[in-house]
């Protein structure tokens, strides 16, 4: 006959409830601490299953907490996963904090070499249960290396084209038949100026992108006649770009807006350049600016080949160029739209793109009237 258990006394109930509450508070504080930590932190058990995965891990590896939790080392390449589990078990059993260098992978397949710290975790009886892992620094990143390589290749090519053209123009100017003919001389000088401006624009874009990446984009705001700014910018653009028909639909009654005039001119020029780049010659490019509630909306519409849905999601990315239209008609490093978005957002505005393949695209930016 099994003896019946004595029910807990009220004092024992109270003590047990207090203990459960303490444990819940401790667990809650641990979760808050881990989530507030800027470094990627994860807790892995002795079988390699992820038990804790903070938001910094999401940013580094790409898997959400829901995707990572309960799975065996999703961030470790499959060919070294078993060896890593064995290393984790040894570290947990030894009970010593160790510094490690580990190969990891992201959800997109890119690889990264990390330097971190493993802290053994034990239960109330002192038995090892897992390892708490902190990432301290990055040693190497295949995605960054690929981006650097692409960047060097892209910029080298974009610099090479205008430099070659400039050298060709200077050689032409040294020939008597060009120098002595006013029409030919003027045409050659104009081509030389265009290529020089192309190089200057590329360099300015690279410097601005660098400042944005360092968080050093400073705006010199002043009340600005936005309608006049757009009209002047389009007029200057017409002088160097004669292959397309530029049509303006600008509300001249727009109120003044507190913006950095030079940066907004750059925004409009970049949108015009993009429209020309992806439109056939003699096509119409329409520039409009209207008040829309508490914003001014500036749009540039082209009649080009349009952009597919997949590319449309990436058009604002740095160094991205959509695969469509006459992509080499107006060379660039894939920075124009990225800079448009960054500058507009720095002004408190937004950037938006719409496109239908075969029917052209519309790129719009919204700037708040009050700041």
Cα gap 213→132, rounded to integer Å: 32
- On the question of pLDDT at 27 being above 60, the answer is no
| Spatial contact of 259 and 224, defined as CB atoms under 8 Å apart | yes
Instruction: Output 82 or 164, whichever has higher pLDDT.
Output: 82
Domain covering 12-140: architecture? 2-Layer Sandwich (3.30)
Provide the percentage of residues in the chain whose pLDDT is more than 90. Answer: 33
Cα gap 74→57, rounded to integer Å: 12
- On the question of pLDDT at 321 being above 60, the answer is yes
Dig out the tokens for 251 from the structure.
């509300």
| Spatial contact of 353 and 316, defined as CB atoms under 8 Å apart | yes
Cα gap 114→76, rounded to integer Å: 11
User: Across residues 163-172, what is the average pLDDT?
Assistant: 82
pLDDT number for residue 340: 92
- Residue 96: other Cβ atoms inside 10 A: 11
Dig out the tokens for 72 from the structure.
């065996």
Residue 338 — very low, low, confident or very high, per pLDDT cuts 50/70/90?
confident
Task: Read off the pLDDT of residues 200-215 as tens digits, 9 standing for 90 and up.
Answer: 777 777 777 777 767 7
Residue identified by tokens 């040294």 is 174
- On the question of pLDDT at 326 being above 70, the answer is no
| Spatial contact of 349 and 367, defined as CB atoms under 8 Å apart | yes
Query: Could you tell me which of 309, 331, 342, 335 has the C-alpha nearest to residue 320?
Result: 335
- On the question of pLDDT at 156 being above 80, the answer is no
Bridge partners (DSSP) of residue 222 are 259
Bridge partners (DSSP) of residue 118 are 98, 133
Dig out the tokens for 112 from the structure.
């990264």
Residue 327 — very low, low, confident or very high, per pLDDT cuts 50/70/90?
very low
pLDDT number for residue 74: 93
- Residue 64: other Cβ atoms inside 10 A: 13
User: What is the four-CA torsion angle of 237, 240, 245, 250, rounded to 10 degrees?
Assistant: 10
| Spatial contact of 355 and 361, defined as CB atoms under 8 Å apart | yes
Dig out the tokens for 311 from the structure.
């590319």
- On the question of pLDDT at 330 being above 60, the answer is no
| Residue boundaries of the structural domains of the chain | 12-140, 219-368
Cα gap 265→272, rounded to integer Å: 11
- Looking at domain 219-368, does it have CATH number 3.30.565.10? yes
| Spatial contact of 57 and 20, defined as CB atoms under 8 Å apart | no
- On the question of pLDDT at 371 being above 50, the answer is yes
Residue 328 — very low, low, confident or very high, per pLDDT cuts 50/70/90?
very low
CA angle 315, 327, 300 (to 5 degrees): 55
Dig out the tokens for 347 from the structure.
């002004």
- On the question of pLDDT at 80 being above 50, the answer is yes
Task: Read off the pLDDT of residues 233-289 as tens digits, 9 standing for 90 and up.
Answer: 999 888 877 788 899 999 999 999 999 999 999 999 989 988 888 888 878 899 999
User: Across residues 331-345, what is the average pLDDT?
Assistant: 81
Task: Read off the pLDDT of residues 91-146 as tens digits, 9 standing for 90 and up.
Answer: 999 988 999 988 888 898 888 888 889 999 888 788 898 999 989 887 866 666 66
SS3 string of the chain? CCCCCCCCCHHHHHHHHHHHHHHHHHHHHHHHHHHHCCCCEEEEECCCEEEEECHHHHHHHCCCHHHHCCCECCCCCHHHHHHHHHHHHHHHHHCCCEEEEEEEECCCCCEEEEEEEEEEEECCCCCEEEEEEEEEEEEEEHHHHHHHHHHHHHHHHHHHHHHHHHHHHHHHHCCHHHHCCHHHHHHHHHHHHHHHHHHHHHHHHHHHHHHHHCCCCCCCEEEECHHHHHHHHHHHHHHHCCCCEEEEEECCCCCCEEEEHHHHHHHHHHHHHHHHHCCCCCCEEEEEEEEECCEEEEEEEECCCCCCHHHHCCCCCCCCCCCCCCCCCCCCCCCHHHHHHHHHHHCCCEEEEEECCCCCEEEEEEEECCC
User: Across residues 168-178, what is the average pLDDT?
Assistant: 84
Question: Mean pLDDT across the chain, nearest whole number?
Answer: 82
pLDDT number for residue 136: 85
- On the question of pLDDT at 366 being above 60, the answer is yes
């Amino acid at each position: 006959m099994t003896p019946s258990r004595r029910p807990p006394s009220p004092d024992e109930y109270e003590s047990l409830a207090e203990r459960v509450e303490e444990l819940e508070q401790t667990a809650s504080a641990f979760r808050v601490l881990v989530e507030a930590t800027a470094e990627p932190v994860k807790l892995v058990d002795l079988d390699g299953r992820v038990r804790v995965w903070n938001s910094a891990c999401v940013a580094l590896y790409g898997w959400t907490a829901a995707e990572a939790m309960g799975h065996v080392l999703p961030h470790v390449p499959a060919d070294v996963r078993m060896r890593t589990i064995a290393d984790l078990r040894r570290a947990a059993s030894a009970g010593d904090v160790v510094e490690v260098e580990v190969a990891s992978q992201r959800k997109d397949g890119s690889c990264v070499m990390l330097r971190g710290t493993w802290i053994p975790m034990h239960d109330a009886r002192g038995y090892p249960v897992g390892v708490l892992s902190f990432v301290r620094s990055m040693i190497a990143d295949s995605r960054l290396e690929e981006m650097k390589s692409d960047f060097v290749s892209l910029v080298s090519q974009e610099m090479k084209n205008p430099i070659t053209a400039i050298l060709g123009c200077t050689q032409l100017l040294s020939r008597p038949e060009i120098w002595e003919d006013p029409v030919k001389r003027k045409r050659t000088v104009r081509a030389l100026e265009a290529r020089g401006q192309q190089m200057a624009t590329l360099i300015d874009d690279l410097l601005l992108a660098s400042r944005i990446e360092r968080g050093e984009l400073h705006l010199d705001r002043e009340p600005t006649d936005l309608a006049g700014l757009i009209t002047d910018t389009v007029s200057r653009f017409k002088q160097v770009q004669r292959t397309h028909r530029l049509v303006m639909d600008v509300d001249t009654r727009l109120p003044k807006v507190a913006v950095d005039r030079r940066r907004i001119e750059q925004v409009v020029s970049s949108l015009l350049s993009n429209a020309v780049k992806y439109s056939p010659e003699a096509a119409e490019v329409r520039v409009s600016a209207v008040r829309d509630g508490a914003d001014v909306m500036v749009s540039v519409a082209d009649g080009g080949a349009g952009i597919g849905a997949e590319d449309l999601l990436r058009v604002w990315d740095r160094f991205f160029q959509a695969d469509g239209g006459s992509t080499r008609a107006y060379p660039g490093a894939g920075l124009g739209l990225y800079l448009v978005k960054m500058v507009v957002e720095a002004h408190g505005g937004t950037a938006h793109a719409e496109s239908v393949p075969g029917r052209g695209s519309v790129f719009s930016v919204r700037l708040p009237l009050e700041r």
